[in-house]
Chain A
Amino acid sequence: MSTATADIHDRPAESRVNYLNASYGIKSWLLTTDHKRIGLLYLGTITFMFLIGGTAAALMRLQLIEPQGALLEPETYNKMFSTHGIVMVFFFLVPSIPATLGNFLIPIMIGARDVAFPKLNLMSWYLFITGCAFALVAILSGGVDTGWTFYPPYSSLYSHTPVVVMALGIFIAGFSSILTGLNFVVTIHKMRAPGMTWFRLPLFIWALYATSLIFILGTPVIAITLFLLGLERLLHVGIFDPAIGGDPLLFQHLFWFYSHPAVYIMILPSMGVVSELITAFSRKKIFGYSFVAFSSLAIAVISFVVWGHHMFVTGQSIYAGLVFSVLSFLVAIPSAVKVFNWTATLYKGSISYQAPMLYALGFIGLFTMGGLTGLFLASLATDVHVNGTYFVVAHFHYIMVGGALMGYLGGIHFWWPKITGRMYPDMWARVSAVIVFVGFNLTFFPQFVVGYLGMPRRYAVYPAEFQVLNVMSSAGASVLAVGYIIPLVYLTWSMRYGAEAGRNPWGAAGLEWTTPSPPPTENFEVAPIVTEDAYNYPIKQPRDYPNAPGVAHV
């Protein structure tokens, strides 16, 4: 593709004051209260944690190439899958879109100068890195082997690993996310620009609002649960201890009360991103705006009443099982509404296949597969057979990686020019998106099969008849790894050498595309007043978008 021509109406980014060059020095970053800089601080931190979680996964997949693999001792393998799960869930996926894209974009998308509590926002980041530090200490002292689920009595009375330290890290990171959620809810309620009514908000905002509700309502419960677990571990007696009449299943109830909604924390923001990408790259307004908006809220609400589907085979009462099974089927409905609406948006749209769009389309397909396989798990009869197998592992990786992570990458690519003022090389980006898609399916589709055939999860060794599928999965993992590393390279490269992006390189609708790239510290040169609905395509073409899809280049 041709390189962008600098817009004659914007001075080049370097000579214009924006949030990146408004002040210099490490103190100006470490003591910033600018939501955009805080978003970038998070971006760096979670990328680092992703590499740690990814390394654990790589070691696991290497071990599983051989049925009786000798790379890792079983005890070490247990620590690998635990570390992988804990780091990826608590220290990567939960903060990923909210803390990076959410922090950066929410005030701009609603027309505000910053979030409601900028200093609290900075404190959130410090809490987060403190949590990461505790987790790293736990990992470096060997790591925990309890699984990311920490079930007692193993985790409380028998494991000889740094459970308390790791639990403390998650506890602290949890408070970081509570404060973020709180900040977002108040910001969205109270700081929208004049004319920005609820039903003119971008769907990304609706999705993040719903996510923030889950942050506020769910995270405190994992906090108290891990706290109680820590006490039981330290005192050698506690409320989950059967010796004094305690019930280990009570831990599971309290744990999953948060951890199930947590998976919606991980997917909802991605769905919000996809709504933005699909509309921008079909140049068409979303089909059924209010259905998509309300489906985000419905997902957030219903997500809180389904947690028992993680406990169908652990000894839960059959009556509770029935209730949770029925409710779990219900939660599929608003997700399906979104998929239908995105598809209907694509219909008769003017579609282009830039990298963000490739990620969005990949999301829709892979999320649908993940969601449909969730129904197998919601159904009591089939869950009995596939629970605890690789079928479950494949299901949630389709959602988390095929869904959430692809949405995250799509969002990073879409808003990269806004964040940095630079474009990345589109060909490399498209190639990586395809590599990710191929690598992902090669890694995880075989896991559906091998799980259905009975291979259990969390085992360091497996029967020889499953080897072919496992080798395919491990091969896929290496392709996937390549697909993740390439963007690290070209995105970093683009920060220095990328073509300058104007205000609106994609020709997309939304307040964030009306302000310079990168934006000034106060986000807007003139406080915006909103008079139009969201996705009001065709938008009045601003002067500069030489990279806009479908536009002939001069």
Chain B
Amino acid sequence: MSEHSGHTGHVVPVSTYLLVFFALMAGTALTTGVAYIDLGRWNTVVALAIAVTKMMLVVLFFMHVKYATGLTRIVILAGFFWLGIMITLSCADELTRTWEINPAGWGGIIPFLLRLF
């Protein structure tokens, strides 16, 4: 397909759209199937990894971000980064309430920091 520049924007070939479509359908089948297999805590990781991959496909191809300006990408990244701030700092409170308060004295700061990882 010819590529129009300027006003019309990048035209994505139908074949690309179809490939992405089938990848998304396959990803859905995969994530549904994996849910029936016991992977312990990895079930969550796999499900999220597949979801993120599907999202990337939609964003890059259906939403044309692969052909978009740097400003668009920064805007999208900022959105996710800010969501990350909200989740991380909220969890910093909600999930640390039951931690013992400074059991090792202030010299215990290093073990405390290591414990975060």
Contacts and interface: CB of A to CB of B under 8 A. Distances in A.
Interface string B63-98: 000000001000000110010011001101110110
Given A217-B78, A221-B86, 10 more contacts: A189-B71, A217-B82, A250-B90, A253-B90, A257-B86, A315-B97, A317-B94, A317-B96, A319-B92, A319-B93
Interface in A303-352: 304-305, 307-308, 311, 315-320, 323-324
Interface of B: 71, 78-79, 82, 85-86, 89-90, 92-94, 96-97, 99, 101-102
Contact of A250 (B85, B92, B94, B96): B94
B92 A320 contact: yes
Contacts of A305: 85, 89
B77 to A, nearest CB: 12
A247 interface: yes
A249 interface: yes
A253 B93 contact: yes
Nearest to A320: B93
Contacts of A320: 89, 92-93, 96
A347 B36 CA distance: 72
A318 B94 contact: no
A231 B93 CA distance: 25
B40 to A, nearest CB: 24
A127 B96 CA distance: 40
A260 to B, nearest CB: 11
Nearest to B97: A317
B78 A317 contact: no
A318 B92 contact: no
B13 to A, nearest CB: 29
B66 to A, nearest CB: 21
B92 A317 contact: yes
A45 to B, nearest CB: 30
A208 B101 CA distance: 42
A320 B101 CA distance: 12
Contact of B93 (A217, A221, A304, A317): A317
A489 to B, nearest CB: 44
Contact of B89 (A217, A247, A323): A323
Contacts of A317: 92-94, 96-97, 99
A249 B71 contact: no
A250 B89 CA distance: 11
B24 to A, nearest CB: 27
A257 B71 CA distance: 25
Nearest to B101: A318
A319 B99 contact: yes
A316 B97 CA distance: 7
Contacts of B92: 317, 319-320, 323
Contact of B85 (A304, A315, A318, A319): A304
